[in-house]
Structures are given as structure tokens and as C-alpha cells.
Chain A
């Protein structure tokens, strides 16, 4: 059943909440530590005070760490799809990735049908999951590892934490750009939890086929919604 005869249900509430908790905590973690990465941003420390920001960094670190735990408990379906999809990278995903750069310049090459997540999203999921682990482990070693782990190892956590944060931010920038500028419909998927049928067929054709097969939506209503658009 489509929502309002137009929208395909995509994400559940708790899953979306976890996405935004992750997004906000990551962004705040990045901002509160930015002055340590680049002197250009020392003014952030000067405005809010280094101590305040360092405490906030720990506060958001806790949110950043517990978010996936909340997710695994309360948004099992969403996280299950996330993992299953991320580890099912196939040749269609590869073709998508190769042709994808053209879409950045406003072109519309013909693409193989994409599943719930497309090839780019799958890579982003894997990268962010890996970086989450690196950030959490290196961060905890710096935070609570003093006296437990030798400084010859702890010293390495500073560059490792920095690289992971930098890569994570770069991926986030691309993710935000694609969501807001390139595909505003995908942003709707993460705020209202549903996407327009026309967008769904274009960007996640294989997933829509699957939904029709399962009887979640019918081909008739999808076609009707696309015609009305």
C-alpha cells in the first residue's frame, strides 16, 4: 500500500532517529575537536571555551557510541537490512558506481536496477561502520586508557583518530551533498520515512520489484502514482 497513493514506505521511525543521532553526534564531535586539527578553527575554542568543548566532545562521544546499540535493540529491521545490503555488493552495484559520476554533472545515464541501497550507499555504509569502530576504539584508548595502555601505543591513537575523523567527514560531505542537492527525495526518505514511487522506481528499481513480489505494494498503484507525478 502506498502512502497518500504516492509514497513508498522506506524507513521506520526508530531507524531514522538513530540516523539523526549518529549524524548530529558525528558533526558535533567533529566541530568540538576541530581546533585541535587546524589552527584556523582556534576561534571556536576562544568563543565557547576549550574546557566546555572538550566536555561536549565526551558527551557526544557517548551518544555516538550508544546509537548503534539503541538501533540494534529498537530498529532491528532497519539495521538488519543495512548489514545484509552492505555485504551483498554485486556486479550491478559496480556498474552503477562506474556510471554514477556522470550524474554529478547533471547527466542521466541508463543504470542497472538498484536494490534498497545502491552501490555507492553500500560503500558508504561499510566505510562509516569501519570508521565508527576505529574512532570509538582509538577515542576510548585516549579517554580511559591512561595507566592501562602504554603511551607508546596511546600516542598512535592521535593520528589514527584524526585520519578516521577526516575520512568520515569527507564521506559525510559527499553524503549530505547527494542528499540535499542531488536527490532531495532521498532526504524525504530519512525524514518522513517514505519516498515517491517515481523516485523509488528510478533509484531503487530492484527493491520496488521485490516489494511488488512480496505484495507490499502493487504494480498498478506504482504505475498510477508515476503517471500522476
Chain B
């Protein structure tokens, strides 16, 4: 599928049933993850893990008026237009497909964790056993065969939608109008170009992004360009230059030293 695709999570429609989390584990064959002990919380896992790539976060919040809110959000890789993970990967193990899916090639990954350090959303997780970086791959294998990602497929509330980017932008605008009626602070997230060029994981948020733990102004760090375009190539040239220089110096030293003696 050569078209640019996108996923939309309409947070106002989400009932936090977590069927999408199960569907994700099923399709990717990820084992149950018992890393978070039960302490009476509603959120299943404290955070993303190497075997939990899609997490429904359930924040409890009391607003200024003393009213209680449950803020649900589906959190996973945002599939950025300018993916910091891909740009900063020293092994070129991460690529962006035509669909917009950002995918890790495990054969090339060395588990250095630079993708996690560079990610403005702090998404990738290194599997300590296999020493490989892991994250949502937007079910790129499914979408390339005309199917939709497993999380979107299983969502009964029509909270998760998947389609061409153009269609999702249109849907997002429509949904925003609906949500605005009850939530005056509602806004779109990732739909329009931002510091990471926009994302292929888009949201209709009833409240500002900070409420859901999303950065207000995510940015692909400029440090990556400095590292990849200058430090690495210059370092390589300097390394070869230094070796040649020292060898030359050694010879010169011997020649002139002998003549002087």
C-alpha cells in the first residue's frame, strides 16, 4: 500500500476497555507482562515495556472545580513524519515505510538505546534479554496487505480509526467539532505539522496534551544533525588523518634525527 496512512484515536469515544492492548499482543505474539504489581490502580501497566507496545493510560484527575475525571489515552509509537529514532540510529536499523509506519529492523538493531534517548515521546523500549529495541510498528505487515492494524480492527467504540492520512485528517476535524460541544478545550494532536513534522498516530483530545502526559511541543532534536552530519564524518577523517600523521612523523623523526646525530 503505497498511500500515506494514519491512525486516529478519538479520546472522547474511548471507554478504556483495553481490547486494543490485547489485540496488539495477539498479532505481535507478545507474552503477558506481569511487570506492574497490582496496587489498586486501574491502569494495567505502569508504562510501555518491551512486550507491551500499546498502553491505555488511565490518569485520575480532579479539576479546579473539584470534579473528578478519568483521562484515558492510547499510548504507543507516534510514527513521526521526521522520526528522531530513525534519524539518530547509528546502525540505520529504523526506517519509515511509504505508509508512514516507522519500523525497527531487529537484524540491524544493536540495542544501544539511542532511539529511546532521541525520541521526543520516550517510546522505544530495549528488550534486555535480546538486546533489541522494541515499539509499535503500526502493524505495517498488515497494512501492506490491505488490512488495518489489529488495535483499530478490534476497537468496538470506533475510538480508533485507520485509513488514508487525508481521510483521517478529515475525520479528525469532524470529530473535533463534535467533541468541542462538551469539551471547550478539545484539540487535535499530531494531525497538523508540528516539531516532528506531524505524526501518523493522531488524536482528538478533549483536554490539552499535558493532561495525557503528551509533550505540548514535541521536537525532532537538532542534536541528531550535529552528530550524524558533522561529528561522525569529521571524526572518521580525523582518525585516518591522525594515524597517517603519526606514521609520517615517526619516519621524519627517524630521518632528521639520524642526520642531526
Q: Identify the A interface with B (CB < 8 A).
A: 35-40, 42, 45, 50-51, 54, 104-108, 142, 146-147, 151-152, 154-159, 162-163, 166, 170, 173, 177, 181-182
Contact = CB atoms under 8 A, between A and B. Distances in A.
A181 B250 contact: yes
- Which interface residue of B227, B257, B260 has the most chain A CB atoms within 10 A? B227
A163 to B, nearest CB: 6
B238 A170 contact: yes
A51 B112 CA distance: 9
A152 B120 contact: yes
Given A142-B117, A155-B117, A158-B88, A105 B253 contact: yes
B17 interface: no
B221 A170 contact: no
A182 B253 contact: yes
Contact of A177 (B114, B117, B236, B249): B249
A75 B201 CA distance: 57
A151 B253 contact: no
A61 to B, nearest CB: 14
- Which interface residue of A54, A104, A151, A154 has the most chain B CB atoms within 10 A? A151
Label chain B's interface by main secondary structure. Answer: helix
Contacts of B227: 158-159, 162
B231 interface: yes
Contacts of B114: 36, 158
B42 to A, nearest CB: 22
Interface range, B side: 35 or more
B117 A151 contact: yes
B260 A107 contact: yes
A55 to B, nearest CB: 10
Contacts of A155: 84, 88, 117-118, 221, 223-224
B254 interface: yes
A8 B248 CA distance: 33
Contacts of B259: 106
Nearest to A157: B117
Interface in B146-173: none
B116 A146 contact: yes
Interface string B221-261: 10110110001100110110010001001101111111110
A156 B227 CA distance: 9
B131 interface: yes
Contact of B246 (A146, A159, A166, A177): A177
A155 to B, nearest CB: 4
Nearest to B219: A152
Contacts of B252: 104-106
Contacts of B113: 142
B110 interface: yes
Contacts of B131: 50-51, 54
Given A42-B91, A151-B119, A163-B231, A104 B249 contact: yes
Given A151-B118, A173-B242, 15 more contacts: A37-B90, A51-B111, A51-B131, A106-B254, A107-B256, A146-B122, A147-B122, A155-B117, A155-B223, A158-B223, A159-B226, A162-B231, A166-B231, A166-B238, A181-B250
Contacts of A163: 231
21 contacts: A36-B90, A36-B112, A38-B235, A38-B236, A50-B110, A50-B111, A54-B112, A54-B131, A105-B249, A106-B252, A107-B260, A108-B260, A142-B113, A155-B88, A155-B224, A159-B223, A162-B235, A166-B238, A170-B238, A181-B253, A182-B253
B256 to A, nearest CB: 4
Interface string B100-115: 0000000000111110
Contacts of B90: 35-37, 39
Given A38-B235, A158-B114, A170 B242 contact: yes
Contacts of B111: 50-51, 54
A39 B122 CA distance: 25
Contacts of B232: 37-38, 162
A229 to B, nearest CB: 16
A158 B91 CA distance: 14
A66 B124 CA distance: 31
A38 B235 CA distance: 9
Contacts of A35: 90, 110
